[in-house]
Amino acid sequence: MSLHRQMVLLITGLLLVLLAGICFLSVHNSRDYLENQMHNHAQDTATSLGLSIARPLADDDLALVQTMVDAIFDRGDFVRITVRNADGDVMVQRQTQPPPILVPRWFDNWVQIDPMPGISEITAGWRVVGDVRVFADKDAATRNLWMAARQTFWLFLVVGGLSWFIILMIVRAVLAPLRTLERQAELICNKDFTGQQPLPKTRELKRVVQAINRMTRQLKVLFDEQVAQIEQVRNQAYVDSVTGLGNGRFFNAQLKARVESPEEPFSGVLVRLQVQGMAQYNEQFGHGAGNLLLRRIGQIWLHTLETVEGHCVARVTGTRFAALLPHQSVEAAVTLVQSALSQMQRLEGLSQGGHLLKLYAGLSACQVGQDARLLESQAAAALEQAQSQQSGHLEVYDASAHGDTPASGLPEVSDWEAFLENVISRQEVELHYQPVISCMDQTLMHYEVLARVKVREQLITAGYFIPLVERFDMVARFDRMVIQLLIEQLRAQPATERVPLAVNLSSHSIRSEDFDTWLLATLQAHPDIAPHLIFEVPEITVRTAHGKLRWLADGLKEQGAKLTIDHFGTTNSSFGYLSGLQLYSIKVDSSYIRDIAANLDHQFFVQSLVRIAHSRQILLTAEMVEDAAQWELLRRFQLDGAQGYFLGQPQAEKVAA
């Protein structure tokens, strides 16, 4: 039970005890006072009446005695007045029938008002001629006491209720810093080192908050130092120190991972950029000027091409740059590269070098269904051809001029846009499921959902048709369709047989205007389904739509669903953004997994991710595990899970579900 609830219950109990005590004391004190007053009043009346009727009673003038008794009885709250002679015989008596009881029986039994009667002897001279007895009306006193008790109860109830509410607000305000401390402790567990401001007014709580804030700052320094050390070593392995771009090792790993992916075959453009004459330039102007020029060329190369989602830009050797532009047409890529070359030609250092420096670029494209493994050789051939032209020339690989023509691996579709529109409207998509296996006990963690579309009786993977879906601006509708299909399938299954499912979301969908609102509303409408859904978004989304992604992550956690960062490590981003997202897991990109057994840099990167992810209670999984050596190494590094053809191939719903 929370401290706030305990204090509320304690205050409520004290107020109730106080109410009961005040009511008890008020009623009993009033009863004692009334009994005493009624006795005194009866005694005074008896004494006065005895003196008044002494002579008439001695003269046996009973009519006058009766008149005087009637006069006294009618003016006072008496139930009976009795006049006796010296022998004890009743001479005159006046009494009234008690009215109906107007108070609850329990109250009458509880207070039990029983005042003593007033008794006075009647004397004539020195002789006692009788006595008079006056009995007060205790029922009238009980009624008056009941009315007073009710008024006291309601008055105290109103005042006590207002006091209870005011005290409750005061307690809430006083304990607010404790709730903030609780949230701050949870944030620290998630490696979000935000101090508490403003400080509370209560001195003791203020000291506690100040101590927690000091601890938070120290933990932040330690965590930042750890992340900085890991990023420094990673940068030494994967980042070019001169330009800040990815280096040749990083680019080659990305290229091979994308070209050889069985689920996401590459389509797009590979560009090679060559700067000739840097050796002579360095001799004439110095290595500092040469590095500055290369840095500016790298900045233009990055800023011009970073508009392409999923781009990979690098300086692969001393004077050679490269770029991988997914899902881009030749025309769009040519426009971007020519723009970059034009900006580079205008650099002051390049024009200062005169004829010493020349720029050349070669471009090779791979369309949907073609063999992407020829990209490197085709781009190299195009670059070699460009070097026979004047500086600033861009050569596009031409199969008729340079040789081999890639064979198409896709069935022919005359109108892809109409075909995909029909697929979405009719929900003609087949879902396959690939298991994600725990590295700890080798049990099933969840399934990743992979979409397939049938073209002329041939199933094609998402890697072939998703680029076309994005090109025709249908990706948000496609993601909605897949999510609705999954919800329907999960609803059709008994709750005890449901298995968590991970589904990929495009960054186009995250950036769309109303997709995130629709997704959260859909999950809210199916609260029993939401905890079984895991949404994977590519790491590039963190850079292109961080604000919306953070809002979506908070909403998914509130609904019970989960968020995963997919293809982690493809953007060379800082690990810092992990502190601001509510993540369930991150998935290491396949470029770090495919040759991890032989690559010490990749091993260090994955081990560093394990430490950082686990320190934030984030699961770490790997993709494209294709052999036993990779699997055993990942288990030794204590990753949480992995998937790949070695652990289980994608299978149809009836097998995997």
Q: How many folded domains does the chain comprise?
A: 4
- What b/e sequence results for 189-206 when a residue is b if at least 16 CB atoms lie within 10 Å of its CB, and e otherwise? ebbbbebbeeebeeeebe
Close Cβ partners of 553 (under 8 Å, ≥ 6 residues apart): 563, 581, 582, 583
Instruction: Answer yes or no: is 409 within a domain.
Output: no
Place of tokens 């991710």: 609
Q: Do 310 and 438 sit in the same domain of this protein? A: no
Write the secondary structure of 453-470 as one string of H (helix), E (strand) and C (coil): EEECCEEEEHHHHHHHHH
Q: Tell me, yes or no, whether 307 and 445 share the same domain.
A: no
Using CA atoms, how far apart are residues 499 and 482, in angstroms rounded to an integer?
Answer: 17
Residue 226 located in a structural domain: yes
The pLDDT of residue 656 is: 42
Last residue of a domain, one of 238, 270, 298: 238
**Mean local confidence (pLDDT), 86-100:** 79
| 194 lies in the same domain as 295 | no
pLDDT higher at 458 or 629: 629
Q: What is the pLDDT of residues 113-156, one digit of tens each?
A: 878 888 888 887 778 888 888 888 877 778 888 888 888 888 87
The helix (run of H) or strand (run of E) holding residue 620 is strand 619-622
Position 499 scores a pLDDT of: 92
d(C-alpha 197, C-alpha 213), whole Å: 9
Are 433 and 549 contained in the same domain? yes
In a domain, 478, yes or no: yes
506/142: higher pLDDT: 506
| Residue 405: Cβ-neighbour burial (10 angstroms; 0-12, 13-18, 19+) | exposed
178 within some domain: no
Per-residue model confidence as pLDDT tens digits over 387-427: 888 888 999 987 655 444 444 455 677 888 899 999 999 99
SS3 state of residue 324: strand
Tokens encoding 76? 């006072």
Does 166 map to a domain?
Answer: no
Crossing angle (nearest 10°) for helices 278-285 and 287-305:
130
Provide mean pLDDT across the span 542-570.
88
pLDDT at 657 over 50: no
pLDDT digits (tens, 9 = 90+) for 147-195: 888 888 888 788 878 888 888 887 777 767 666 766 666 666 655 656 6
Which residue has 């770029």 as its token pair? 323
Q: What does the pLDDT look like over 611-625, one tens digit per residue?
A: 888 877 889 999 999
On whether both 308 and 331 belong to a single domain, the answer is yes
409, 403 Cβ separation under 8 angstroms? no
| pLDDT band at residue 469 using 50, 70 and 90 as cut-offs | confident
What is the pLDDT at residue 197?
Answer: 66
Share of the chain above pLDDT 90, in %: 29
User: Domain of 8: which CATH number?
Assistant: 3.30.450
Asked if 88 and 208 sit in the same domain, the reply is: no
Do 382 and 490 lie in a common domain? no
Claim to verify: residue 224 and residue 270 sit in the same structural domain? no
- Residues 450 and 575 placed together within one structural domain of the fold: yes
User: Which residue among 114, 145, 161 closes a domain?
Assistant: 161
Q: What percent of the chain has pLDDT over 70?
A: 86
Query: 254 to each of 196, 260, 308, 312, 388, how far by Cα in Å?
Result: 42, 10, 16, 8, 29
For the beta carbon of residue 280, count every other beta carbon within 10 angstroms.
14
Structure pTM? 0.66
* pLDDT tier for residue 565 given thresholds of 50, 70 and 90: very high
Same structural domain for residues 277 and 377? yes
What is d(CA 508, CA 368) in angstroms, rounded to the nearest whole number? 19
Give the range of the structural domain holding residue 227, as residue numbers without chain letter: 190-238
Classify burial at 211, counting beta carbons within 10 Å of its beta carbon; exposed 0-12, middle 13-18, buried 19 or more: exposed
